[in-house]
Structure 1
Amino acid sequence: MNQSASTILIEEGNFFLEVYLDPFNKRIRIDDYRGNIHLALEKAEELARTHNAEKLIMKARLEDYLHLYEKGLQPEAIVDRYFLGSDAHFFSKFYSAERKKSDHWLTEDGMIHSIYQLDTSLDKPFPPKEYELKKADEECAGELAGLYRQVFKIYPTPLHDPEYVKKTMKEGTVYYVFFYQGKVVSAASAEVNSFYKNAELTDCATLKEHRKYGLMKILLRELEGELKRQGIFCAYSIARSLSFGMNAVLYQLGYKYRGRFINNCYIYDKLEDMNMWIKNLANC
């Protein structure tokens, strides 16, 4: 199976599907749908079988909740106000016992409990003046790809490739970066859904030796400001469930925990569970 991800649109007599085929992560995601939910789900499952997917994910609306239960899907996470103010319920179905099994679930539960005890009244970080904050442009693509290669052995999208980074920029993804001595040492992005007016804050990476200055909190705040200027108030982020630091950053920035995806994607060095965090930017 081709390892590059792609989005396909399926329009049949009684339903429409927007499908993200993700062979690298052995999954299929239904990003949007309308029409006959039963026929749409049958088509989604047919695609999962055809593409040998181990996991099917569907961004569903509340009114279709019970239909998905009937078809054997299970809820994993929620994004408040995802669909132009209406909540998105993320349902999943697994096609292998191994993909359904999480060895770290209790540890990850304990981490969420610990994070919710953290102080959220921390002062804003002020890194040394040698760190330069910038909104990235296409000239930064090589530097960005280099950073992601250094931080992540494996990543669920091809961010190790400068051409892919440029492609995401052309499609509306916004990157903010910190330079140190002419090199990008920290970065984060906002992947904007301009139709539904939401954005995923993602691609968060800082080189180990630069992690003590709170750079990521500053980058995420900058991205939030950019989103608000675009009239986008629904922000969400999906963090590695075993990364205390990234989950703590999101909690301290006012994000709320909204569930966990079992064996969601290949990241860092293996297939990992991922935590969902959301924030309503209209309230800040």
Structure 2
Amino acid sequence: MSPDTITTIGSTLVQHGRLSDRIYVMHLSPADLPGILDDLDGLAERERYTKIFAKVPVSALSLFVARGYVVEARVPRFFRGREVGCFAAKFFDAERRQESADVSAVLAAVREKAGDARPAGLPPGWTCAPAAEDDADDLAALYDVVFATYPFPIADPGYLRETMTGDYCYFLVRTADGRLAAASSAEIYREDENVEMTDFAVHPDFRGQNLSTLLLSRMEEEMRAAGMKTAFTIARALSYPINATFARAGYACGGTLVNNTNICGGFESMNVWYRTLDE
């Protein structure tokens, strides 16, 4: 199945497609309100999508709630370090709205690790550095190994090269002999002054070495320097390691997006974690 499409409706950035059977409003342009709500409903009905979810400033939330949206997660200071951001969802299928797994057990377990940051270091000769276009083939191969499915075509080197020219910064951990051990990316929303810490992947040969923690710390340094005020992630709700990584790093959980994303071969719920970077 082909990856979902990224497009614009008016000035609003939207991802949609059959893979995750949804519409994702990645960046809402307030100038498109309220008409964008009709456009989203129309697209969902035409394509028979079962979910819309949108990152919405709290000042616009009432428009969405009036149209049947519910708030699944909240992030303080999400927009420009000032305004609360709400992850609002509208379901077109009752089954999709029902959580099929117990995500609370993972959250309870990782919350015991809150703030328990583990010092992350690299073995001699290893490196952690931003990626260049020449790294795209290795990076795509790593993502192909780690993810059976993914909402973005990150196993395509061409897609990675294209995003590198925009507001994506990829970071790589390489071994002393040059093998790609782990990777992640920072997806920067400059207008909103926030950044999504995402696309974490550790090669099976190198797991258990806190490489995701190291990558997260490095990305935070870079994003603070770039003026981003809030960092967040949308993490697989049933994955203990990635949730623990963010809990240990001092992130708070803002909520759970139910049956949100087709990743690793099936639909999964996702937890939203966040922390401020400018304090």
Give the TM-score of the pair, scaled to structure 1.
Answer: 0.91
**1:148 and 2:143 are equivalent in the alignment:** yes
What's the offset of the Cα at 1:197?
A: 1.3
Q: 1:38 to 1:119 in 2, by over 3 A?
A: closer
Aligned to 2:110: 115
Moved more, 29-38 or 170-179: 29-38
Which of 91, 96, 109 is equivalent to 1:94?
91
- Matching of residue 45 in structure 1 with residue 60 in structure 2: no
1:42 Cα deviation after fit: 2.2
The counterpart of 1:231, out of the listed 227, 230, 233, is: 227
Match of 1:247 among 243, 246, 250: 243
CA-to-aligned-CA distance 1:237-262 (integer Å, 9 cap, x gap): 11100100100000101111000111
Tell me the distance in 2 between the aligned counterparts of 1:254 and 1:17: 31
Structure-1 separation of matches of 2:3 and 2:139: 22
Q: What SS is found at the alignment partner of 1:212?
A: coil
TM-score scaled by length of structure 2: 0.92
Partner SS for 2:44: helix
**2 CA distance for matches of 1:119 and 1:101?**
28
Following TM superposition, by how much is the alpha carbon of 1:144 offset from its aligned partner in structure 2, in angstroms?
A: 0.4
Q: Quote the residue 1:170 is aligned against.
A: 165
State the 1:122 CA deviation. 4.0
Quote the RMSD (CA, aligned, Å): 1.9
Report SS of the residue matched to 2:30.
strand
Identity %: 28
Q: How does 1:246-265 map to 2 (within 5 A)?
A: 246-265=242-261
SS at match of 1:282: coil
Q: Distance in 1 between matches of 2:274 and 2:132?
A: 27
1:25 is matched with which residue? Answer: 20
After superposition, what is the alpha-carbon deviation per residue over 1:146-187, rounded to whole angstroms, capped at 9, x for unaligned? Answer: 100111111111011110111110112111111122221100
Contact map agreement 1:24 1:156 (CA 8 A) in 2: yes
Letter in 2 for 1:198: N
- Separation (CA, whole Å) in 2 of partners of 1:194 and 1:36: 19
- Distance of 2:121 and 2:60 partners within structure 1: 46
**Residue equivalent to 2:60:** 64
CA contact (8 A) 1:8 1:21 kept: no
Letter of the structure 1 residue corresponding to residue 174 of structure 2: F
- Name stretches of at least 5 consecutive residues in structure 1 with no aligned partner: 11-15
Amino acid at match of 2:120: P
Tell me the SS of whatever aligns to 2:154: coil
Alpha-carbon distance in structure 2 between the residues aligned to 1:4 and 1:71:
24
For CA contacts below 8 A with separation 6 or more, give which structure has more relative contact order. Answer: 2
1:13 equivalent in structure 2: none
What SS is found at the alignment partner of 2:219?
helix
- Is contact 1:17-1:33 (8 Å) kept? yes
Aligned twin of 1:5: 5
2:174, 2:56 → 1: CA distance?
A: 40
Superposed CA offset, 1:38-85 (max 9, x none): 433222211211222211112222233333222211111123222212
